[in-house]
Amino acid sequence: MIQFFTRIPVPVEIECDNEDFGKGLVFAPLIGLMIGGLLLGSYSLLVLVFPVQVTVVFVVLIYIALTGGLHLDGLADTFDGLLSGRSRERMLEIMKDSRIGTFGVLALVGVILSYVVLLQNMDKAILPMVFLLMPVAGRIGSLVSAGISSYAREEGLGKSFIDYCSVKELIIGIVMSFIIFYLFLGLHGVSIVYLVHMTAIVLTYMLTRKLKGATGDVLGAVCELNQLAFMLLAFFMM
């Protein structure tokens, strides 16, 4: 999962089939916490040199570099397809096209700008926790989306996740995420992570309604949008 979801070099070869790969999504909250730890470390060092507003921009860029823009690519493809106004079949074709369209660009710009502006205007005291937990919230989105969806295509990169992320993986991942938020934010974190799960369900419904199922791109889109939802919750509740 580290090899797939991040650009962190892990120089080992692990044999796994589609089922192993799909069930591995249960570790998504831990992968998010690892990414968050690296963001927190980067923020703690950079803020010693740069003003907070500049540091925030660098940390967002580091986040993109760490993930290789994997989920952002899904966000762009999803919006290109869904906002095309075409048939379901044509939407899926557009989402599979490697070229990016106007709606995809607008989605990327909108989300990344929202990240930066929200983070720049947060209380400095909560920024460390936001950087630590926002990737966890995002990957909760992917886990929940895979666990409650059916696959919209016959084949594709996201099929393993959606087919094999069962109720068992979903429950374990949810419990894991509640523990993570409780450890760092106490009981207040429990209420926040509950809302994070609810936003993931709502986002999944909104993005899969026309497609009659999810794809790997949709899982990526839910990840980024759920991350944004967490930032909004942090802005008002932390």
Is residue 214 classed as helix, strand or coil in its secondary structure?
strand
pLDDT at position 181, please?
A: 96
- Tell me: the pLDDT tens digits for 35-62? 999 999 999 999 999 999 999 999 999 9
Looking at residue 238, the DSSP 8-state letter turns out to be -
The residues near 55 (Cβ < 8 Å, ≥ 6 apart) are 43, 46, 47
- The ranges assigned to domains in the chain are 25-237
Q: State the 10-residue block means of pLDDT for the chain, 238 residues long.
A: 90 86 92 97 96 96 95 95 91 90 95 96 94 96 93 83 90 95 94 96 94 93 96 90
Nearest to 163 by CA among 16, 24, 14, 2: 24
pLDDT at position 154, please?
A: 77
* Composition of the chain by helix, strand, coil, percent to 5: 75, 0, 25
Nearest to 214 by CA among 35, 74, 102: 74
Looking at residue 151, the DSSP 8-state letter turns out to be B
pLDDT at position 13, please?
A: 86
pLDDT at position 17, please?
A: 85
pLDDT at position 174, please?
A: 94
pLDDT at position 189, please?
A: 93
Is residue 125 classed as helix, strand or coil in its secondary structure?
coil
